[in-house]
Structure 1
Amino acid sequence: MPSYTLREWEALPHGDGEGSIAPELAARLVALAKTSTFAGRGGTGVLEDRRHELRARGVVGVLTAQGCSLEILPKIDVTPDADPEREKAVIRKRLVHMLAVALNLKIETGRITELDWQRETLLEILIRIFCDKLTEAVRRGMPRRYVGQEDDLTALRGTLDLPRQFTCHAANPGRLACRFDELSEDIALNRIMKAAVGHLSKMSRSAANLQRLRELAFVYADIAEVPTPALNWGQVVIDRTNRAWQELFGMAQLFLRNRHQTTSSGSGKGTALLFEMNALFEEYVGRLVTRALAGTDFQVTLQGGRLFCLTSLEDQSAVFQTKPDILICRDRQVAHVIDTKWKRISARIDDPKQGVSQSDVYQMMAYAHLYKAPRLTLLYPHHEALGDAEGVHARFHISGQETLLETASVDVSNGKDLVVRLRKALFPDTLESLSLVSE
């Protein structure tokens, strides 16, 4: 089955030769992409079907349609390599790291060989990690909880259900209507794990992964099968008895219901695992900032604030609610607002705006007015055209005010000591006394 890889905003020409895709396969991928919640009103939010090419947009992940698959990787600058496959491997590692941070998962990638990062798609790598972690966990024993049961027995067990006893067994005192608790593996957490295994079995195309998933499906044979929409996520309790399952529960949410991605199947169109890079970058940076300011007197709120821009004169109703990506408060006062943008800014000296859009500036001015923040930052991914140094690139005063508006970048291609680097880049003055620890 042909497999293709693109980066964001790259195009794949139609054709039959190497480096191109047959128009009928492109049409299947486009039809699948249109089922995604990221497709938008026009249906082109994931893929654009142009006249002579297929173009990726700002959504990454894997689409698998009948007869082909397409992997879309983020546009992250990495060290140039003569082998394009090695470059793709590095980008996959960085994307998995971003997912792990954004979703608060501990995903160890050291056990995956360099060959696997080059040979497998993002989807197969994530499935591999999930299977390895789940296999280790079930070897230590499945989680169990006491579950309420009702049964008619010859000897009393638990308590007697008097209403049912006198209505159902009034003429047969040899049967007792019992209520009791029984330690069971057929609980919500295990049902979710079984649903994840079944779901991934439909998505994977790797023989090794399919073998692992078949073995896991056998382990979960006695667990009730529940359709994904009917899974009861609210019944899952993570406590000291099953703390080791926290990461697996998070990964199951990644595959089945996380807000950053959508999975779709049905009607023979195929399956997809997709992530919107704007939302992923926002969550990723938000969690890094939270770590960077841990242990200080600053409090970080993600997607908070919720103040309204306007109030109606007729009924005093509030409209146009704001949700800054990152609010940093001190002594209950907003000290800093950070808004993340997954797009490239310019470093040209003849471009005083640096490619920052006017609407982004207007948005930050609204935040300055509503939240009275003395400092606002538009934070972008770093790229090689900006030079070697990440951090703040330009500072401005909002006209007529002392409020500072700055543009800055963070290098997501380099995960080493990222929390420390973020502290130095964005908070050098306020954190001089804070001991620096690695990520």
Structure 2
Amino acid sequence: MSLMNKRKVIQVFEYQKLLFEEDGTFESRHWKALSLYNEKYGNKYFTLLHNGIKFSNYVGVIQAGNLTIEILPKIDREKLDSREEKARWHNILLQMLRECRLIKVDHMENANLQLKSNSILDIYIAMFLQEVEGLLRRGLIKKYQKHTANLTTLKGKLEFGKHITANLIHKERFFVQHSIYDNKNLFNQIISEALRIIPFLISNTSLNDKLGRIMLDFPELSRLKIASTTFEKIQYDRKCMHYKPALDIAKMLLLSYRPDITGGSNSVIAILFDMNELWEEYIFRKLQHLNEDGVEIKRQQSQHFWQGSSTLYPKSVRPDIVIRKGNQTTILDTKWKLIPDYKPTDEDLKQMFVYNLYWKCNHSILLYPAVQYHLETGTYFSFSQQEIATNNCSVATCNILDQNNELDSGIGQRILHQILFLSNK
């Protein structure tokens, strides 16, 4: 059953509270459905309150029954209820997802205004349906399947044991195993299962029409029980690589979908992103796209730092981004959180000291989001005495928005310029 005509949408910001007595849109039944979903994933997406929920550092969309909750990032805690602010950060989140290749560029550019104003879930469904349309135009993959049957003609390999047992009286039949070349394969079955749940998720009329056309053309296939291990069985080659975009989205939809097992209409699906990981990925890509001569930018390089006598694997440390120019190495660690008075935590500073030590670099930078740019450099003391060593860590904040309050396209250039300046001091 499609819930198009009953859909309600709420936009909130990360770490904001949503209470179900405020306007009646968020109800206790939604709370119950979300609590079960959150428990399934280790209670990491939000914190349950007795009369609502408090969101964490995950952004994206959660849909519970007829309610869609869009969780937006925010670097300024003012104007949280402003419709203009929510619209701005909705678009900023979409642009960050596009930059990190979590939404394809052509889907963003071709999305109509009505679709762009709706939830992130609608955009992913639109991406999926467009990919499936492309598969249908190209022709669905067919594979040979082994099939066992009791036929009136000898076809394929005769199964002697089963043939004698089944056809002792029916001499005119043959129990055989033969191959059938058809659409029934893992690739198409996964696509089919994703198409089956979309009617429960759609809140856009044009998407519903497109889904109807696709369902008319897509073959009826036997049901497939989906688990995370299902996707581990997929093996791509040059003949089926074009399926990957559709299967990636199908995986996202199917593994994050929790049907209402009571038979009600409170199924839950969530497409959520850890804002710390998204921030790191975004900054890395902005730096990498610069292609600065003589500058090498790598991410998440690990080094071992501890091995227990009874442990199988050593413990490792792994900074977000490592930047090298000549014989100078700088560690950049991104943190998506607001720091009061530009003062980092002891834990963050100790972490950067370890990075400096293991990567043999004299300078590291903690990068936080903020409304204003700020840079402050501190120096670590030496091991032996209370004297200053040549081991530094800078605390930097940067605004991801430009003067027009749009996503700043030049943020990578500014950050790299500051890094190279500090490394040469």
Q: Flag whether TM exceeds 0.5 (same fold).
A: yes
Deviations 1:290-327 (A, max 9, x none): 4445986736243x40523x444x65877654333334
> 1:29-55: per-residue Cα shift (whole Å, max 9, x none)?
3333333458887x585144266x654
Q: In structure 1, give the amino acid aligned to 2:56.
A: R
Matched, 1:398 2:380: yes
Could you say which residue in structure 2 is the equivalent of 1:75?
Answer: 74
- The alpha carbon displacement at 1:242 in A equals 4.3
Task: Find out whether 1:339 has 2:333 as its counterpart.
Answer: yes
CA contact (8 A) 1:328 1:337 kept: yes
Residue type of the alignment partner of 1:307: H
Mark the CA change 1:165 to 1:325 in structure 2 (over 3 Å): closer, same or farther: same
SS at match of 2:351: helix
* Shift in alpha-carbon separation, 1:237–1:44, aligned structure 2, 3 A: closer
Q: Name the aligned partner's letter for residue 46 of structure 2.
A: V
Partner residue, 1:305: 302
Match in the other structure for 2:3:
none
Q: Which residue of 2 aligns with 1:365?
A: 353
Aligned position for 1:378:
366
Q: Deviations over 1:318-368 (max 9, x none)?
A: 76543333345689x99333322111245xxxx4xx032221111212222
What amino acid is aligned across from residue 49 of structure 2 in structure 1? D
Match of 1:22 among 6, 21, 24: 24
Flag the 1:421–1:65 CA change in 2: closer, same or farther, 3 A: closer
Q: Report the TM-score, using the length of structure 1 for normalisation.
A: 0.72
After superposition, give the CA deviation of every residue in 1:247-291 in whole Å (9 maximum; x if it has no partner).
Answer: 32332233234xxxx443434543131333223323333444444
Q: Which amino acid aligns with 1:4?
A: I
Q: Which amino acid aligns with 2:36?
A: T
Root mean square deviation of aligned Cα: 4.2
TM-score normalised according to structure 2 size: 0.74
The 10-residue stretch of structure 1 (237-246 or 167-176) with the greater mean CA deviation from structure 2 = 167-176
- Do residues 426 (structure 1) and 416 (structure 2) align? yes
Counterpart code for 1:254: M
AA aligned opposite 2:320: D
Tell me whether 1:131 sits opposite 2:132 in the alignment. Answer: no
For 1:110-144, what per-residue CA distance to the aligned partner results, in whole angstroms no more than 9, with x for missing partners? 222334333x2222233233323432x13422341
Question: Is the alpha carbon distance of 1:195 and 1:95 closer, same or farther for their aligned partners in structure 2, counting shifts above 3 Å?
Answer: farther
Q: Are the equivalent residues in 1 in contact too, given 2:18–2:53 (CA < 8 A)?
A: yes
After superposition, give the CA deviation of every residue in 1:192-247 in whole Å (9 maximum; x if it has no partner).
22222223322223343333333333333423321221763234344444444443
| Structure 2 counterpart of 1:232, from 206, 230, 233 | 230
Letter in 2 for 1:425: I
Structure 2 counterpart SS, 1:64: strand
Relative distance call for 1:139 and 1:315 in structure 2 (3 A) is: closer
What amino acid does structure 1 have at the position aligned with 2:230?
N
Shift of the 427–321 alpha-carbon distance from structure 1 to 2, 3 Å rule, reads same
Amino acid in the other structure paired with 1:343: K
Q: CA, structure 1 residues 94+183, in 2 after alignment: closer, same or farther (shift >3 Å)?
A: farther
Task: Give the deviation of 1:105 after TM superposition.
Answer: 4.8
Question: Could you tell me how far 1:96 is from its partner in structure 2?
Answer: 2.6
Cα distance between partner residues in 1 of 2:142 and 2:361: 48
In structure 1, C-alpha distance between the alignment counterparts of 2:128 and 2:48, rounded to whole Å: 31
CA change 1:127–1:296 in 2 (3 A) is farther
Equivalent in the alignment of 2:95: 97
1:434 — aligned with what? none
Q: Residues 26 and 322 (structure 1 numbering): CA distance in 2 closer, same or farther, change over 3 Å?
A: farther
Between Structure 1 and Structure 2, how many residues are aligned?
393
- In 2, Cα distance between the equivalents of 1:14 and 1:165? 64
Q: Unpaired segments of 5 or more residues in structure 1?
A: 432-439
Q: Distance in 2 between matches of 1:88 and 1:36?
A: 25
Bigger mean CA offset, 267-276 vs 171-180: 171-180
Report what 2:260 is aligned to: 266
Name whichever of 291-300 and 194-203 sits farther off.
291-300
The 8 Å contact of residues 57 and 274 in structure 2, kept in 1 or not, is answered as: yes
Q: Choose 171-180 or 141-150, whichever is displaced more.
A: 171-180
Do the aligned partners of residues 224 and 141 (structure 1) sit closer, same or farther apart at CA in structure 2, a change above 3 Å counting?
A: farther
Contact 2:122-2:204 at 8 Å conserved across structures: yes
Contact 1:375 1:404 in 2 (8 A): yes
